[in-house]
Amino acid sequence: MLDAALLSIDGLSVAYDGSSALNGVSLQIRKGELICVVGANGAGKTSLIRSISGIVRSSSGTVKMNGVNITGLPPWEICERGIAQVAEGRQSFGSLSVEENLLLGGSLKRAKAYQFETLEFVYQLFERLRERRRQLAGTLSGGEQQMLAIGRAIMSKPEMVMFDEPSIGLSPALTDVMFGVVKSLHEQGITVLLVEQNVAKSLALSNRGYVLENGSIVLHGSSQELLNNSEIQRAYLGM
């Protein structure tokens, strides 16, 4: 499995000012998989994503993409290699228009030639963004900002997208829309790493899952196994 992994993480640790947030996390994602990492608030989910994307520097461990060590590369280089992230809190450029934000997402070398074709794809996915393409990103609603963040990631023509709690702060109806978009991107061949507190919904969507507690993976398995696990049911599913 290691050889076939698109992304292989081994012993990854992250600490902030000496206080540990991620302790020796190992996980693998095969090309075309949709996997989830679930865990409570503060478990280390965002730290995991940010250390893969190069925004946060790990204190030990390695991240390999297709067998090549990419640990410690700068964020733009990680994007250029085809790993995009949809950040928690969305983080668009508020004083730029929706379309300017999208085109920025598509300005990478790997994506530039497809920029306008991909823009049309994003607008077909989210008609709402097409309607608001001239509106400043900072004035969008929470749901619209989440659409824009996903759109920007798609614009970079990624091989893999990491979603950091795409459902946070959204209504149940919009949550279903976002999970539907994650599913349809996966069906189009994009490898997905979904990080969520919404354990039931993300296990229902994914093939495999990892459970993160206090910076460590405490369980992993097929999503069905995890949904049937009595500890998971008690701790995360309120059963």
Ligand X SMILES: Nc1ncnc2c1ncn2[C@@H]1O[C@H](COP(=O)(O)OP(=O)(O)O)[C@@H](O)[C@H]1O
**Residues near Mg ion, by CB under 5 A:** 45-46, 88
16 binds ligand X (CB under 6 A): yes
| Side chain identity at residue 136, one-letter code | L
Query: Per rule CB under 6 A, is residue 18 in the interface with ligand X?
Result: no
Based on the shown chain and the rule CB under 6 A, indicate whether residue 42 belongs to the binding site for ligand X.
Answer: yes
Between the alpha carbon of residue 181 and those of residues 2, 18, 82, 156, 175, the distances in Å are 28, 38, 19, 16, 10
Rounded Cα distance, 118 and 154, in Å: 8
Nearer to ligand X, 36 or 43 (CB): 43
Residue 114 near ligand X by CB under 6 A: no
- Cβ atoms of residues 121 and 154 within 8 Å: yes
158 near ligand X (CB under 6 A): no
| DSSP conformation letters of 132-172 | TTTSBGGGS-HHHHHHHHHHHHHHT--SEEEEE-TTTT--H
The CB-of-229 to ligand X minimum distance in angstroms stands at 20
Query: Which option in Mg ion, ligand X, none does residue 201 bind, with CB closer than 5 to 8 A by kind?
Result: none
CA distance 113 to 126: 22
Binding mask 47-76 for ligand X (x = CB under 6 A): x-----------------------------
Using CB atoms within 10 A of its CB, is residue 69 exposed (0-12), middle (13-18) or buried (19+)?
exposed
Quick check: 186 binds ligand X (CB under 6 A)?
no
Number of residues that bind ligand X (CB under 6 A): 10
Q: Is 208 in the site for ligand X (CB under 6 A)?
A: no
Say whether residue 89 binds ligand X (CB under 6 A).
no
Q: Which of 9, 12, 21, 199 binds ligand X (CB under 6 A)?
A: 21
Residue 112 DSSP symbol: G
Minimum distance from residue 162 beta carbon to Mg ion (Å): 12
Q: Which residues bind ligand X (CB under 6 A)?
A: 16, 21, 39, 41-47
